[in-house]
Chains A and B, each alone.
Chain A
Amino acid sequence: KNEVEQSPQNLTAQEGEFITINCSYSVGISALHWLQQHPGGGIVSLFMLSSGKKKHGRLIATINIQEKHSSLHITASHPRDSAVYICAVNEMDSNYQLIWGAGTKLIIKP
């Protein structure tokens, strides 16, 4: 079993839909990251969370430390949101590496 599990693996939606991507992890963590990777390969850091909720524009990320679960929400989705969204964690007492989820490939159709 992977230490970081994401669901769904693939998600196709229509423009304007509300999107939720889920992440569960099995290790103790000091932080959780949501990252975006476009087809060219570059990765953009969206959020770093250790508790609660963060919002940036149409993106919202939440984390429940007790349940070891995080969600990334996209409101009013747009075709430019199409990308791979990756959840990754810093394991407690091991801040020097990220443990990565497999990613969720999101396609937003116009």
Chain B
Amino acid sequence: ETGVTQSPTHLIKTRGQQVTLRCSSQSGHNTVSWYQQALGQGPQFIFQYYREEENGRGNFPPRFSGLQFPNYSSELNVNALELDDSALYLCASSSSLSMGQGYGYTFGSGTRLTVV
């Protein structure tokens, strides 16, 4: 098992810029979910990718977009950054097998984004 790796771990961006965050999925997992966690708050669901297609989206504007690649790794892109986008961005990988066998999700350590 390789676990889930997110990169970068921290970054600082200026308002109006664009950012790309990356997430590898655990070996054998074909689903990646992205979450935004503002300081002192619980995570909020951004979207989920399954086999390279978006198959669920939370209440986030279109400037939040994503991709999933054939190896099931994923990117989260945020355009026109706003100060309120400052948060910890978490990704989690899973599969129907991990969910069916009761293992659930494997989370990355997150990317802490600061928008100034």
Contact = CB atoms under 8 A, between A and B. Distances in A.
Contacts of B109: 40-42
- Interface SS, A side: strand
Interface string B25-40: 0000001010101000
A41 B88 contact: yes
Nearest to B110: A41
Nearest to A90: B99
Nearest to B48: A96
- Classify chain A: how many residues form its interface, as a range: 20 to 34
Given A43-B107, A97-B33, A97-B58, A48 B102 contact: yes
Contacts of B37: 41
- Interface SS, B side: strand
A44 B58 CA distance: 22
B52 to A, nearest CB: 15
Given A31-B104, A43-B90, A43-B107, A95 B99 contact: yes
A45 B104 contact: yes
A87 to B, nearest CB: 10
Interface of A: 31, 33, 35, 40-45, 47-50, 54, 86, 90, 94-98, 100-103
